A and B are shown apart, each in its own frame.
Chain A
Amino acid sequence: MREYAFFLGCIAPNRYPGAESASYKTSEKLGIKLLDLEGASCCPAPGAFGSIDLDIWYAMAARNLVLAEEMKKDIALICNGCYKSIWEVNHKLKRHPELKERVNEVLKGIDMEFKGTIDVWHLAELFYDPEIVGVQKIRDSVKVPLEGTRIAVHYGCHLMKPKKERHFGTTEHPTWLEEMVGALGAEPVEYRNKMLCCGAGGGVRGYDLVHSIDITNEKMINLMEVKVDALTEVCPFCQLQFDRGQIEIEEKFGVKYGLPVLHYCELLGLAQGMSPQELALDLHAISCEPFLKKVL
């Protein structure tokens, strides 16, 4: 069993606890144990904090990293926004000694020091990595194949972009998450402009909601063209934007889509036999019932 410090972030534990619960249970079946990262905070939100003062963003993220360094465990997380903060600050502080010095000057006041001794991973990349889990093992863990469903993937932005700083290869047309959806027995579906942003990031959701959900609406139109049963993603903030965003789109633009949106861990949980109650799918703004009827 590989052990990781589980960095929760905000939206998964505080809005979609089913995604958190599913992460523990699904990863345990795949040989990954997620440990509590006691005292972790918001990553902090890269849009809000990065825009105000990057130095504060570095210091706040570094505090979370040090908590895991003290546990001597790598971090695993399930949100692209958290990945941007936690992975990128770790990466930057390891490579820029003057930055590390600046951050440690602040952390000194709370008896902490960033050393750069751990790595940060998205749970989805650990699932895909054949040396850790791999698609075959995911396929073997499926008890309730999601057969007969068409599922589209939203990759989100901050996991893989900017590509020259990351390690995922192409950001124009990746297909690794589709492979992971296929492993659950569902049919992964391609759609127009798949890599378009959900519209929530950079503080835009709070700054100009109509602008933000107009981007979401463009994605929804593209998804409707290919008639999918559900959308899956690996970022609770994107999930919130697509899930609650559909309600906002209905209010502001008068268009109703009703497309269920599930985090990949929730989807994997269903395929591994977890019930909708165990995944708190009733907390989703858009009912997952039409999708559940097809698979259960």
Chain B
Amino acid sequence: MVRTKGYPEALEKKLADTRLYEDEKNPDFTKAVEKISMTIPHMCFQCGTCTASCPSAPRSSYRIRKFVRRALLGLENEALTDPDLWLCTTCYSCTDRCPRDIAPTDVIMAMRNLAFKRDIVPVNFLKTVQAIYTTGHGVPNNDVNRAARKKLGLPADPPTTHGFPKYVKGIQHILDYYELKKNADRIVKEREG
């Protein structure tokens, strides 16, 4: 145990917040979260307004307040390996109500970005990437819809990358620049064989 207050060891042990002496504490994690999110989790005084505003909290063990605490304490592994990280609907109610002007939603988004760097990401996110790489759309057109569009007097394919597939190249350039397609394919293959 790290002695910080200069008290006798027994007293220090008693006073110590064990979370603060966590071996896994990584100050770089706190900095990385603050940089990506452009918000200020270190200002959190744990009032819980965020959790109380959260639509996911009443139906799961997801606690946004806990994640903000983990950001502040640098508890990287605990935060990134918790499956609850992916239960935020990004509704921004916590952000609108935070009395410390923190954006807890953006803390979650930053943590998800950092999790992805360690290949921690639900497969459905990657499938959206694969669909966009191929067609430009996350939710692509289909035959039933094409027939319906024609009946409405609209072109069977909308004037997007669907109607003008030559633009898909630009999208592929951006995704390849970040090697996202390659990584998405690799992770999906690892998970699903």
Q: Provided the pairs A42-B136, A63-B171, A204-B56 are in contact, do residues A162 and B125 lie with their beta carbons within 8 angstroms? A: no
A45 part of interface (Cβ distance < 8 Å) = yes
Number of interface residues of A (CB under 8 A): 67
Q: Does A37 contact B (CB under 8 A)?
A: yes
Residue in B closest to A171 when the chains form the complex, CB atoms = B96
Shortest CB-to-CB span from A110 to chain B, Å, is: 4
User: Residue B132 at the A interface, CB < 8 A?
Assistant: yes
Contact, CB under 8 Å: B139 / A11? yes
- When distances are taken between beta carbons in the complex, the residues of chain A under 8 Å from B164 are 38-39
A208 proximal to B (CB < 8 A): yes
Please give me the residue from chain A that is nearest to B86 by CB atom. Answer: A207
> CB-CB contacts of B151-165 with A at 8 A, as 1s and 0s?
111100011111110
Among A53-61, A134-142, A246-254, the stretch in contact with B:
A53-61
Which residues of chain B from 48 to 97 have a CB within 8 Å of any chain A CB? 55-56, 59-60, 86-93, 95-96
Q: How far is the CB of A202 from chain B (nearest CB, A)?
A: 4
- In the bound complex, do residue A8 and residue B158 qualify as a contact, i.e. CB atoms below 8 Å apart? yes
Given known A42-B132, A54-B36, A211-B87, contact A162–B138 (CB-CB < 8 A): no
- Nearest-neighbour CB distance to chain A for B52, whole angstroms, equals 13
Chain B hits for A157, CB < 8 A = 89-93
CA distance A179 to B78 in the complex (A): 47
Q: Specify which chain A residues have a CB less than 8 angstroms from the CB of B139 in the assembled complex.
A: 10-11, 14-15, 42
- Residues of chain A within 8 A (CB-CB) of B7 are none
A200 to B88, CA, bound (A): 10
Say yes or no: A200-B138 contact (C-beta < 8 A), given A18-B152, A39-B160. Answer: no
Q: In the bound complex, what is the Cα–Cα distance between A48 and B169 (angstroms)? A: 21
One of B55, B116, B160 near A13 (C-beta < 8 A)? B160
A14 lies within 8 A of B159 (CB): no
The distance from the CB of B187 to the nearest CB of chain A, in whole angstroms, is 11
- A107 CB → nearest B CB, Å: 8
User: Could you say which residues of chain A place their CB within 8 Å of the CB of B180?
Assistant: 52-53, 56
Contact A215 B154 (CB under 8 A): no
Interface members, chain B 102-136 (any A CB < 8 Å): 103, 105, 109-110, 112-113, 116, 121-122, 124-129, 132, 136
CB-based contact A21/B153 at 8 Å = yes
For A52, give its contact among B36, B105, B121, B151 (CB under 8 Å).
B121
Binding site for A on B (CB under 8 A): 36, 55-56, 59-60, 86-93, 95-96, 101, 103, 105, 109-110, 112-113, 116, 121-122, 124-129, 132, 136-142, 144-145, 148-149, 151-154, 158-164, 166-171, 173-175, 177-178, 180
CB<8 Å pairs between A and B, sample of 24: A8-B160, A15-B139, A18-B152, A39-B161, A39-B167, A48-B124, A48-B125, A50-B112, A51-B112, A51-B113, A51-B116, A52-B129, A106-B177, A157-B89, A157-B93, A158-B92, A164-B96, A197-B55, A197-B89, A200-B89, A203-B122, A203-B124, A203-B128, A280-B151
| 4 pairs of A and B residues whose beta carbons are closest in the complex | A206-B124, A39-B167, A197-B91, A161-B92
